[in-house]
């Protein structure tokens, strides 16, 4: 390997000579060794200008990147909306990130230029142009990965590399890279290091087909970058060019030939379609393990290495030993975490682990232990017993440590979109922790504290914008009407770069969160197909505390009330409106929505449609039962009393339909009985009709009972007649029919409380000459039967598992 990389002849291909007008410095993104030698090269070359690979239209952001208050990791976020269909017919939206860590050579180049007071600039095509020049499915248009501007993958995919790894007995490209470039690189002079880089990059390039480079837009980008380099070289005597190593050869050949090419024409694109923003980033997001095929893994580890290199250089004048120290630091950090968790790891384990890491490095001919030796040593010395999910905790802790949890920060005055600023301002106001990548939890007393109610609104706004920032884990849910009795909300929230990205995307909708939410609400409301969806949006609006801005929205809701002819959509919508009406007082948000008139309109419309709903399907029974009950409850409210008459008329009209579903019939009869107890006779009459009817009708009696008990279960408790009739019904059934009816019966009797069930059982027992207590005694069940039952259970469970219903 050393032979191949010695690079004696590479100087003839691409010279690395400080006397040149243009000096090319090849790098790999996030590489501490590249950064280290780049700094050395800058010292020796003393450039007058530094050009860095990166989309040119981000040049305006350089002052932000080099500001001392800006803390890495941060990223440039590029977005492009293909309105003109230049990338593809689908006219999609594209976005990508360009992350920077302290150890990124590009950032080191920019910061050093700032320190030396020399100009620095990005020289690549704008993001939109790169996309336009990339063939579908290649380069940045690959669908399967998170899009990253950096193209280090070009260095790690060639056939040449596969052979190198095989020959050197290393696991993969990353281990190869670490051994020869990162660790080995620190033991080389800058000239040797660059020569080795150039040999490797040239061989990688030679083994990549030209067609592929064309399809990925590499060649067009190199043409553009060469133009920029030549232009700078006319102005400055020493130009340093810092680009991904893969491009160095292409750039060198183009600039050395200084061939006169027509300048690459750029498309005229609308500024609105192109977004470039700086954003705080996290180590976690920068880790290659989190989806970036081309990033470096373990940014936390390499950040430590870079920090130690910088410290050692100052204190000892040499960076040697930085890797070993970084390994030790992380071993100790992991050991500490393991001890805190289960206390079974000693310092001696850490000593053994370090000696393992050093031993492995020696065995593998590495100058110092690196990431792979660190992982191996933790596996060997910290994991006790068979390595599996329960014993593998140290490995998980190590993974966290090598990934790192640092979150970056942008300086004041960075061109952060106002929406992101508003988000940060709100977080500060509410004291929310956003400078950590760890998940936080907070409990809000939404009814007792005004501040908590405002926080809840903020969380709902972030949720509505799909930022992924907050999720409610407990608390009342007004949309599904679950847990409405709860008085606290528990939220979990976590900052991530994704949150910022979504906020940047949403920036077009508004400068502050309420405005962005309202605009999005407006759009969704425009697209809403029925009252259910529209009223659901109103509930969201209410939860976000935006009900005082609903003027336009209410027009649309009113329009849908008139247009929507779907009974169930109206019913669900009515449910939402009702919820809002009921809760306005409780949430101290009275009167903003002016819901009463609208709810009354919906009520009337549903009542109007109700008689036509007689012949519903079985699966609609529950919804219909709920709808009728909701109407009944609403009509019971003081302000709706005047509507009772039309509701009763609609119920009566419904009952006249001979095709009425038995469940609905029971429900409606129960509700009418609620208005007027004299309906009892009619109820009994209908029920006995089912019993005495044809066999088919008899089998529907349970559905009738289910509907009836849902709305008027006291009927059974006030007298004996119902129990007697039910008894009569059961007597008429043979076993098979009884078994067929049993599920419906269970549901029907499920509405009773246990005490009520006891009373009914006692009455039923009385009819057969025994008491309720007698029912509690049963014949002894032989153990064999239990055993059989258990076997049956197991068999059924295994069959269910086979069919994929496990758990």
Partner 1 sequence: MEEIKQIKPPVEVRCGKELKALAACDTGRRPENWKLSPKAVRTFILGSREPLVYEGEEIHIEKKYLGNDALVERCIVTLAGNRGLMLVGEPGTAKTMLSELLSAAISGTSTNTIQGTAGTTEDMIKYTWNYALLLAKGPVREALVPSPLYIGMDRGIITRFEEITRTPAEIQDSLISVLSDKVLNVPELGDEGLLFARPGFNVIGTANTRDKGVNEMSSALKRRFNFETVMPVRDVALEKQIIISEVSQLAADSHIDMPVDEDVAELLASTYHELREGISSYGHRIDTPAAVMSTAEAVSVYYQTMMTAYYYGDSAMDVGCLVQNLTGAVRKETKDDLEKVKSYFNTVIRDKGSREGGIWKEYYEARKYLR
CB of 363 to partner 1, least distance (A): 5
Q: Which has the closest alpha carbon to 417: 329, 511, 341, 309?
A: 511
| Residue placing its CB nearer to partner 1 in the complex, 121 or 379 | 379
| Interface stretch with partner 1, choices 19-27, 219-227, 352-360, 685-693 (CB under 8 A) | 352-360
Window of 42-50, 52-60, 182-190, 343-351 that interacts with partner 1 by CB under 8 A:
343-351
Is residue 376 close enough to count as binding partner 1 by CB under 8 A?
yes
Q: What is the DSSP letter of 140?
A: G
**Long-range contacts, stretch 440-445, CB < 8 angstroms, 24+ apart:** 440/492, 440/493, 440/494, 441/473, 441/490, 441/491, 441/492, 441/493, 442/490, 442/491, 442/493, 443/488, 443/489, 443/490, 443/491, 444/475, 444/488, 444/489, 444/490, 444/491, 445/487, 445/488
For residue 349, what are its two tokens?
């384990």
Nearer to partner 1, 384 or 481 (CB): 384
Tell me which stretch binds partner 1 (CB under 8 A): 375-383, 649-657, 659-667, 713-721.
375-383
Q: Does 176 bind partner 1 (CB under 8 A)?
A: no
Report residue 444: phi and psi, to 5°.
-115, 130
| Closest separation in Å from C-beta 376 to partner 1 | 5
143 lies in the site for partner 1, by CB under 8 A: no
Which one among 83, 346, 415, 562 touches partner 1, defined by CB under 8 A?
346
Query: Could you tell me which stretch among 214-222, 251-259, 359-367, 532-540 binds partner 1 (CB under 8 A)?
Result: 359-367
| Beta-strand pair 74-81/274-280 | antiparallel
Taking the complex as a whole, the smallest distance from the CB of residue 163 to partner 1 amounts, in Å, to 12
Q: Are 36 and 190 a contacting pair, CB within 8 Å?
A: no
148 and 245 Cβ atoms separated by less than 8 Å: no
Q: Is the distance from CB of 246 to CB of 156 less than 8 angstroms?
A: no
Among 17, 386, 656, 780, binds partner 1 (CB under 8 A): 386
Q: How far apart are CA 537 and CA 301, in angstroms?
A: 46
**Residue closer to partner 1 (CB basis): 263 or 343:** 343
Contact between 615 and partner 1 per CB under 8 A: no
| Shortest separation between residue 385's beta carbon and partner 1, angstroms | 5
Of the residues 352, 558, 609, 761, which one makes contact with partner 1 according to CB under 8 A: 352
Tell me which DSSP letter residue 98 carries: E
In degrees, rounded to 5, the angle at the alpha carbon of residue 383 between the alpha carbons of residues 380 and 386 is 100
Asked whether 38 and 105 are in contact (CB, 8 A), the reply is: yes
Closest approach, Cβ 796 to partner 1, in A, equals 18
Which of residues 3, 263, 317, 385 is near partner 1 by CB under 8 A? Answer: 385
Least distance between partner 1 and beta carbon 300 (Å): 22
Stretch that binds partner 1, among 307-315, 373-381, 463-471, 478-486 (CB under 8 A): 373-381
Q: Is the Cβ of residue 391 or residue 436 nearer to partner 1 in the bound state?
A: 391
Q: Does 462 bind partner 1 (CB under 8 A)?
A: no
Residue (66 or 165) nearer to partner 1, CB: 165
Of 771-790, which residues contact partner 1 (CB under 8 A)?
Answer: none
| Nearest CB to partner 1, comparing residues 153 and 372 | 372
The minimum distance between CB 383 and partner 1, in angstroms, equals: 6
Give the other-Cβ count within 10 Å of 209's Cβ.
9
Least distance in angstroms from the C-beta of 554 to partner 1: 53
How many Å from the N-terminal Cα to the C-terminal Cα in the chain?
A: 54
Q: How many amino acids of this chain bind partner 1 (CB under 8 A)?
A: 25
Q: Is 339 in the site for partner 1 (CB under 8 A)?
A: no
The residues, ordered by sequence, that sit 6+ positions from 395 with a Cβ below 8 Å of its Cβ are 375, 378, 379, 382, 383, 387
Which residues, in sequence order, are CB contacts of 508 under 8 Å at separation 6+?
Answer: 272
Tokens of 615: 């012949």
Least CB distance to partner 1 at residue 161 (A): 18
Comparing CB distances to partner 1, the nearer of 359 and 418 is: 359
Candidate residues 169, 413, 689, 789; the one interacting with partner 1 per rule CB under 8 A:
169
Q: Is 583 in the site for partner 1 (CB under 8 A)?
A: no
- Which stretch, 199-207, 347-355, 640-648, 762-770, contacts partner 1 (CB under 8 A)? 347-355
349 lies in the binding site for partner 1 (CB under 8 A) = yes
Residue 468 near partner 1 by CB under 8 A: no
Site membership for partner 1, residue 381 (CB under 8 A): yes
User: How is residue 452 annotated by DSSP?
Assistant: H
360 binds partner 1 (CB under 8 A): yes
Query: How far, in Å, CA of 574 to CA of 643, rounded?
Result: 15
The smaller minimum CB distance to partner 1, of residues 103 and 361, is found at: 361
The secondary structure element, H or E, covering residue 81 is: strand 74-81
Site string for partner 1, 149-168 (x = CB under 8 A): ------------------x-
Omega of the bond prior to 73 within 30 degrees of 0, cis? yes
How would DSSP label each residue in 453-512? HHHHHHHHHHHHTT-SSEEEEES-BTTTTBSTT---EEEEE---HHHHHHHHHHGGG-SS
Return the number of the residue (160 or 430) whose C-beta is nearest partner 1: 160
Helices (H) and strands (E) in the chain, counts: 38, 10
Determine if 396 is a binding residue for partner 1 (CB under 8 A). Answer: no
Q: Is 52 helix (H, G, I), strand (E, B) or coil?
A: strand
In terms of CB distance, is 210 or 384 closer to partner 1? 384
Residue in 115, 257, 258, 362 binding partner 1, rule: CB under 8 A: 362
- Smallest distance, partner 1 to C-beta of residue 440, A: 35
Among 188, 364, 471, 600, binds partner 1 (CB under 8 A): 364
Show the binding pattern over residues 709-748: x = contacts partner 1 (CB under 8 A), - = does not: ----------------------------------------
Residue 521 main-chain phi, psi, to 5 deg: -60, -45
Q: Does 800 bind partner 1 (CB under 8 A)?
A: no
Strands in 440-444's sheet, in edge-to-edge order, are: 440-444, 489-493, 470-474
CA distance 121 to 560: 55
Residues facing residue 79 across a β-bridge: 95, 275
> For residue 338, what are its two tokens?
């393991």
Cα distance between residue 482 and residue 406, in whole Å? 38
Contact call for residue 1 and partner 1 (CB under 8 A) = no
Residue 344 binds partner 1 (CB under 8 A): yes
Choose the stretch contacting partner 1; rule: CB under 8 A; options: 134-142, 279-287, 348-356, 499-507: 348-356
Q: Which residues bind partner 1 (CB under 8 A)?
A: 167, 169, 171, 344, 346, 349, 352, 355-356, 359-360, 362-364, 372, 376, 379-381, 383-388
């Amino acid at each position: 390997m050393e032979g191949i990389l010695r690079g004696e002849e590479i100087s003839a291909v691409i010279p690395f000579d400080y006397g040149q007008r243009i000096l090319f410095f090849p790098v790999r993104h996030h590489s501490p060794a590249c950064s280290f030698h780049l700094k050395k090269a800058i010292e020796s070359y003393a450039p007058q200008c530094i050009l860095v690979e990166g989309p040119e239209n981000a040049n305006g952001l350089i002052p932000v990147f080099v500001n001392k208050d800006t803390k890495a990791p941060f990223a440039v976020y590029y977005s492009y909306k293909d309105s003109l269909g230049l990338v593809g017919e689908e006219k999609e939206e594209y976005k990508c990130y360009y992350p920077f860590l302290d150890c990124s050579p590009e950032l080191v180049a920019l910061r050093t230029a700032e320190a030396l007071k020399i100009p620095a600039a990005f020289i690549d095509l704008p993001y939109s142009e790169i996309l336009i020049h990339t063939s579908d499915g290649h380069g940045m248009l690959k669908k399967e990965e998170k899009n990253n501007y950096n193209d280090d993958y070009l260095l790690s995919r060639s056939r040449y590399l596969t052979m190198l790894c095989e020959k050197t007995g290393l696991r993969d490209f990353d281990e190869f890279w670490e051994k020869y470039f990162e660790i080995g690189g620190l033991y080389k002079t800058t000239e040797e290091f660059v020569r080795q880089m150039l040999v490797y990059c040239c061989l990688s390039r030679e083994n990549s087909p030209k067609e592929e480079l064309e399809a990925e837009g590499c060649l067009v980008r190199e043409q553009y970058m060469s133009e920029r380099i030549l232009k700078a070289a006319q102005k400055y005597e020493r130009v340093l060019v810092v680009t991904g190593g893969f491009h160095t050869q292409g750039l060198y050949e183009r600039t050395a030939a200084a061939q006169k090419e027509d300048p690459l024409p750029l498309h005229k694109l609308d500024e609105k379609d192109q977004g470039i923003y700086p954003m705080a980033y996290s180590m976690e997001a920068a880790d290659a393990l989190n989806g970036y095929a081309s990033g470096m893994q373990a940014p936390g580890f390499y950040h430590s290495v870079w920090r130690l290199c910088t410290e050692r250089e100052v204190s000892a004048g040499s960076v040697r030993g930085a890797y070993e120290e970084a390994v030790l630091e992380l071993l100790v950090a992991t050991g500490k975490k393991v001890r805190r968790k289960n206390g079974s790891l000693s310092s001696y384990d850490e000593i053994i682990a370090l000696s393992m890491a050093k031993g492995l490095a020696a065995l593998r001919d590495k100058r110092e232990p690196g990431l792979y030796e660190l992982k191996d040593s933790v596996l060997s010395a910290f994991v006790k017993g068979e390595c599996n999910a329960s014993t593998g905790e140290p490995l998980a802790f190590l993974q966290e440590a090598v990934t790192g949890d640092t979150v970056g920060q942008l300086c004041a005055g960075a061109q952060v979109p106002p929406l992101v600023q508003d988000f940060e301002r709100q977080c500060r106001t509410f004291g929310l922790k956003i400078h950590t990548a760890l998940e936080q939890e907070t409990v809000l007393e939404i009814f007792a504290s005004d501040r908590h109610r405002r926080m809840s609104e903020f969380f709902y706004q972030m949720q509505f914008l799909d930022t992924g920032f907050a999720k409610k884990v407990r608390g009342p849910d007004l949309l599904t009407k679950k847990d409405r009795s709860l008085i606290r909300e528990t939220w979990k929230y976590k900052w991530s770069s994704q949150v910022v990205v979504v906020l940047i995307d949403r920036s077009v909708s508004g400068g502050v969160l309420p405005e962005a939410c309202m605009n999005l609400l407006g759009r969704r409301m425009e697209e809403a197909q029925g009252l259910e969806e529209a009223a659901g949006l109103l509930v969201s609006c209410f939860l976000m505390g935006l009900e005082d801005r609903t003027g336009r929205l209410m027009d649309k809701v009113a329009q849908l009330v008139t247009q929507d002819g779907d009974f169930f959509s109206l019913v669900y919508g009515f449910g939402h409106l009702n919820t809002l009406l009921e809760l306005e007082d409780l949430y101290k948000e009275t009167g903003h929505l002016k819901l009463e008139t609208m709810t009354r309109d919906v009520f009337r419309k549903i009542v109007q449609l109700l008689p036509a709903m007689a012949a519903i399907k079985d699966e609609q029974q529950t919804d219909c039962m709920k709808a009728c009950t909701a109407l009944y409850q609403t009509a019971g409210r003081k302000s709706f009393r005047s509507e009772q008459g039309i509701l009763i008329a609609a119920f009566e009209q419904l009952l006249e339909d001979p095709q009425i579903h038995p469940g609905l019939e029971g429900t409606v009869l129960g509700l009418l009985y609620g208005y007027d107890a004299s309906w009892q006779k009619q109820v009994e009459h209908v029920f006995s009709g089912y019993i005495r009817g044809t066999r088919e009708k008899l089998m529907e009696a349970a559905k009738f009972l289910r509907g009836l008990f849902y709305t008027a279960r006291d009927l059974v408790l006030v007298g004996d007649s119902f129990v007697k009739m039910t008894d009569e019904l059961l007597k008429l059934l043979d076993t098979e029919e009884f078994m067929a009816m049993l599920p419906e019966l269970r549901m029907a009797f499920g509405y009773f409380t246990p005490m009520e069930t006891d009373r009914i059982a006692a009455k039923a027992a009385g009819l057969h000459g025994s008491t309720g207590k007698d029912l509690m005694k049963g014949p002894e069940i032989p153990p064999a039967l239990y055993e059989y039952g258990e076997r049956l259970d197991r068999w059924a469970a295994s069959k269910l598992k086979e069919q994929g219903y496990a758990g």
